[in-house]
Amino acid sequence: GAVVSQHPSRVICKSGTSVKIECRSLDFQATTMFWYRQFPKQSLMLMATSNEGSKATYEQGVEKDKFLINHASLTLSTLTVTSAHPEDSSFYICSARDVHAGLNGYTFGSGTRLTVV
């Protein structure tokens, strides 16, 4: 079945630095990828929808200059947390839509646990 690879799985960074998270669809082309944020013991909150070759669409309240999303190819989307602060510490998870898999085609990555110290 469809596989989405997300790296890194864990990252610890210093406050003020930037962190890049990659999300790759391994065996299908993903024209659309989604980025979610999950706080401990809470649900997944959609941050943005990225479409290959165009600008990402951010959800209300998400700072686009803080969370840079690039979807330069049909198999890769990246989320860069710029000038990270401790409050950015969270679990980030991506999802890629395989259009050929119909509506079952929301495949999730394994997530990235970001800790900003």
Q: How far is the CB of 83 from other proteins (least distance, A)?
A: 25
Q: Which residues bind other proteins (CB under 8 A)?
A: 34, 41-44, 46, 49, 91, 93, 95, 103-104, 106-111, 113
Q: How far is the CB of 108 from other proteins (least distance, A)?
A: 4
Task: Please list, residue by residue across 89-115, b when 16 or more beta carbons sit within 10 angstroms of its beta carbon and e when fewer do.
Answer: bbbbbbbbbbeeeeeebebebebbebe
Nearest to other proteins of 104, 117 (CB atom): 104
Nearest to other proteins of 78, 95 (CB atom): 95
Nearest to other proteins of 15, 39 (CB atom): 39
Distance CA 100, CA 112 (A): 26
Q: CA geometry: angle at 32 spanning 110 and 42, to 5°? A: 45
Q: How far is the CB of 78 from other proteins (least distance, A)?
A: 19
| 72 phi-psi bin (left φ>0, alpha ψ -120 to 50, beta other) | alpha
Q: How far is the CB of 89 from other proteins (least distance, A)?
A: 15
Q: CA geometry: angle at 26 spanning 24 and 40, to 5°? A: 45
